[in-house]
């Protein structure tokens, strides 16, 4: 899923301090799971802003809506009739949702309420970690199912750097060395000999480097 975290409320206030009518728009997908932009967080942000404006002696109407998804035209249409009433919409969706909103509703400013962080998973309640950088050319098949692109700080494709120590990365003792994990996994799979196969220079044109990407599937297009 896409993992996000809440923006500091001060930054959000900067965006909307002169508004009189604000919609806070949550999303029921990834940002709900990572507890950054679901219905609960919409409520918390709305209360915080109401408190702030009250203390400022300002009368500001703040509404709360949480959509099933913000990365889908169909669900965004649900606010078609009300969107124009607001001076600003704070979207708590990921960067995809914020942009899709902005593309659909031209006349209302849309502000992000979260920072979109990475593609990751919930390791435990309150701990999300990165697993994928969407390089567009998955190599998990040769690395024992552990991704060096997203999990090695130098995205090294042919083994650990000299900074791997006791299973940890040189940049932080809290971070596993991806190559230690890969080696452990190859060993468990009885494939340690595969380590010596040189991974050729990667084609990064399917990554961010190749420019904004699209997937076109003519077979499923209507």
Q: Does 170 bind another protein (CB under 8 A)?
A: yes
Distances from the Cα of 77 to the Cαs of 26, 71, 101, 215, in angstroms?
14, 11, 10, 24
Q: What minimum distance in Å lies between the beta carbon of 118 and another protein?
A: 16
- Between residue 146 and residue 165, which ones bind another protein under the rule CB under 8 A? 153-165
Tokens 């435990």 correspond to 124
Give whichever of 9 and 153 is closer to another protein, judged by the CB atom: 153
Confirm or reject binding of residue 142 to another protein (CB under 8 A). no
Query: Which of 166, 211, 212, 218 touches another protein (CB under 8 A)?
Result: 166
| Nearest residue to 30 (alpha-carbon basis) of 48, 13, 5 | 5
CA atoms of 148 and 34, how far apart (whole Å): 23
Q: Which of 20, 73, 187, 213 is in the footprint of another protein by CB under 8 A?
A: 187
Which residue, 39 or 155, has its beta carbon nearer to another protein? 155
53 touches another protein (CB under 8 A): no
Q: What is the 3-state secondary structure (H, E, C) of 49-70?
A: HHHHHHHCCCCCEEEEEEECCC
CA distances from 141 to 24, 144, 177 (A): 42, 6, 19
Give residues in contact with another protein (CB under 8 A).
153-167, 170-171, 177, 179-180, 183-184, 187, 192, 195-196, 198-201, 204
């Amino acid at each position: 899923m896409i993992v996000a975290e809440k923006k500091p409320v001060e930054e959000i206030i900067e965006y909307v301090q002169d508004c009189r009518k604000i919609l806070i728009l949550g999303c029921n997908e990834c940002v709900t799971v990572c507890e950054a932009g679901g219905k609960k967080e919409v409520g918390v942000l709305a209360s915080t802003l109401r408190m702030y404006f009250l203390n400022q002696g300002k009368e500001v109407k703040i509404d709360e809506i949480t959509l099933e998804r913000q990365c889908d035209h169909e669900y965004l249409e649900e606010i078609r009739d009300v969107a124009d009433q607001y001076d600003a919409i704070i979207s708590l969706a990921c960067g995809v949702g914020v942009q899709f909103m902005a593309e659909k509703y031209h006349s209302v400013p849309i502000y992000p309420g979260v920072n979109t962080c990475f593609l990751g998973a919930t390791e435990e309640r309150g701990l999300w970690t990165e697993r994928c950088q969407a390089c567009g050319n998955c190599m998990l098949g040769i690395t024992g199912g552990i991704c060096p692109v997203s999990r090695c700080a130098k995205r090294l494709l042919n083994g650990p750097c000299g900074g791997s120590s006791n299973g940890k990365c040189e940049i932080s003792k809290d971070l596993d060395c991806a190559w230690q994990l890969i080696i452990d996994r190859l060993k468990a799979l009885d494939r340690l000999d595969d380590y010596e196969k040189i991974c050729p220079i990667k084609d990064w044109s399917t990554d961010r480097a190749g420019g904004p990407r699209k997937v076109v599937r003519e077979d499923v297009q209507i």
